[in-house]
Amino acid sequence: MKRPAPSAEPVNVQPGAGLRRPGATTALAWSLLNTGLAKFGTLGIGIVLARLLGPESYGSFAVAMVALLAVLTFNELGVSLAIVRWPGNPALIAPTVTTISFASSVVICGAGLVAAPWFAGFMGDPESTGVVRVMVCCVLVSGVVATPAALMQRALDQKMKMLIDQVNVWTGAVVSVCLVLAGLGAMSLAVGRLAGTVAAGVLFVVKSPLPLRVGMDRAYLLPLLRFGLPLAGTSIIVFCVGYLDQLITGSTLGPVMLGMYVLAFNLSNWPATVFSQPLRSVAPVVLARLQHDSGKMRTTVTALIGVSASVVFPAVTLLAAEADAIVRLVYGDAWANAAAALFWLAMLAGFRILFELIYDYLVVAGMTGSIMSIQVCWLAALVPALFFGAAGGISGIALAQFAVVVALVFPLYLWRLRTVGLHPGLVLRQLLLPATGSVILLALSGLLNLMDLPAVWALVLSGIAATLVAAGLLWLKRSDVGILKKLGRSGGLGDH
């Protein structure tokens, strides 16, 4: 019997068709636990490795990591996300998605291996060529597991993903530390990263909700490419927006300053990622299930913004206010220069989580063109700003990013939200209390500095204050918390 060609229009099949799925609240809880454990683990491992390696070797690894992240933005041509959003049974498209993902990853990995010497030289560290090549090999594994990982995300199986991610983190950590102690330097981190990726890849394949199969159904090929290629193009621009600062830091200031900057960047993203990464693993699925009810979708995204800001703003403000004390206490005096960038990068991280939630909302609302235009404007403004800021070192580069976000990008996102029925005033109202809390924390930190307390005591007192502010904000936004809890219990489906 001839199968009908796939339609771009949604069909009357629930998004989870063909897969067993837990509720959104359960998925978010597991995702929070997963991200928390992974972040605490990687933070601890990163501290040990940074102290063992020092800024120079860490900078060589940072060069290789930028290369890996660059190719991972488009290695599977954006088609794996189609599994998450496909209105019917994902088993129909999974083999074709797997074939596209793996084939494109092979080509991109080969190109990366060839281009490694040029990239390492461009970043001011030709000796990191071997490290770059080892890191690029992770792309092959990513291409194989793109479909299983997307199926787990669709099924909201965050419990299994947590276990796999922990295997990735700790396998890589053990291998890296052993090789560092053996004297392999930056190569230790690259080999550890590859070992963890391979171990996690095997588990993704074994625990996939559907068997891993390759195939090519021409009826789905063009619809998948039409869906994925614009997203891949957007992802490339998103990468440039997110990592152009590191490219410019490496090429203008050298690998040592790049290592300093990357350490500050990773530290600044830590509190935001603990909350934004779990939300982003669940939010697109939940919002997609609310497409039938635009009012409920708007209510949900504003609640998400308010609750997220209530937790993230105090955390990033603490990092910014106590940047020097945190860097010296955790990483040692050798890394003290990283604090210069951490202040602005921490404040920037608070905006990034808002942009990620708005991004997901606009994608579900079908405004991918609007997202692309914002990213292009962001990139166009960022290029001259970063080169200008580089004259002030890593602090100037971080400040340039923050200035572009506040003056241009945030207003653009608010304007685009208006076009899909979400008034900017609602978003600004949700951010008013968290922003006020941040101002209070900055003032308190300044007061503690005037008291000339020991750095450890000032940090402890600031941490207690940030915790109390976050708790108070969540209490004031308890109605938004209630909306999310109610939505989570229904799995985002509601009554319809």
Domain with 413, as residue range(s), is 269-496
Please list, in sequence order, all residues whose beta carbon lies within 8 angstroms of the beta carbon of residue 452, skipping any fewer than 6 positions away.
none
Q: In terms of domains, do 309 and 396 share one?
A: yes
Please list, in sequence order, all residues whose beta carbon lies within 8 angstroms of the beta carbon of residue 45, skipping any fewer than 6 positions away.
169, 173, 176, 177
N-term to C-term CA, the chain: 34
Number of domains forming the structure of the chain: 2
Please list, in sequence order, all residues whose beta carbon lies within 8 angstroms of the beta carbon of residue 60, skipping any fewer than 6 positions away.
125, 127, 128, 131, 185, 186, 255, 259
Among residues 177, 197, 216, which one ends one of the domains?
Answer: 216
Both tokens assigned to 246 = 């590191």
In a domain, 193, yes or no: yes
pLDDT value, residue 17:
42
In a domain, 244, yes or no: no
Q: In terms of domains, do 323 and 182 share one?
A: no
Q: In terms of domains, do 347 and 471 share one?
A: yes
Q: How far is CA 126 from CA 60, 68, 118, 216, in A?
A: 9, 16, 8, 41
pLDDT value, residue 22:
52
In a domain, 257, yes or no: no
Distance (Å, whole) CA 104 – CA 244: 24
Please list, in sequence order, all residues whose beta carbon lies within 8 angstroms of the beta carbon of residue 9, skipping any fewer than 6 positions away.
none
In a domain, 238, yes or no: no
- Comparing CA positions, the residue from 321, 50, 339 lying closest to residue 189 is 50
pLDDT mean values, one per 10 residues, the chain (496 residues): 38 40 55 62 77 84 84 76 76 86 91 92 89 92 89 77 86 91 90 94 90 84 81 79 90 91 88 67 66 74 87 92 90 90 93 85 76 88 95 95 96 89 88 95 90 86 94 90 69 44
pLDDT value, residue 409:
95
- Comparing CA positions, the residue from 337, 346, 260, 243 lying closest to residue 61 is 260
Both tokens assigned to 245 = 């600062």
Among residues 201, 216, 231, which one ends one of the domains?
Answer: 216
pLDDT value, residue 13:
34
Q: In terms of domains, do 178 and 323 share one?
A: no
pLDDT value, residue 20:
46
Q: In terms of domains, do 211 and 274 share one?
A: no
pLDDT value, residue 371:
79
Please list, in sequence order, all residues whose beta carbon lies within 8 angstroms of the beta carbon of residue 76, skipping any fewer than 6 positions away.
97, 100, 101, 104, 105, 142, 143, 146, 228
Q: In terms of domains, do 125 and 195 share one?
A: yes
Distance (Å, whole) CA 408 – CA 438: 21
Cα dihedral 159→164→165→168 (10° resolution): 170
Tell me which amino acid residue 80 is: S
**Which residue's entry shows tokens 């990468």?**
239
Q: In terms of domains, do 211 and 283 share one?
A: no
Q: In terms of domains, do 287 and 210 share one?
A: no
pTM of the model: 0.78
In a domain, 328, yes or no: yes
Q: In terms of domains, do 190 and 308 share one?
A: no
Q: In terms of domains, do 282 and 179 share one?
A: no
Helix axes 393-404, 218-253, angle to 10 degrees: 140
pLDDT value, residue 16:
42
Both tokens assigned to 439 = 């101002």
Q: In angstroms, how far is CA 309 from the centroid of its own chain? A: 16
Q: In terms of domains, do 203 and 346 share one?
A: no
Q: How far is CA 110 from CA 114, 286, 379, in A?
A: 6, 37, 28
In a domain, 185, yes or no: yes
In a domain, 253, yes or no: no
In a domain, 116, yes or no: yes
Q: In terms of domains, do 72 and 206 share one?
A: yes
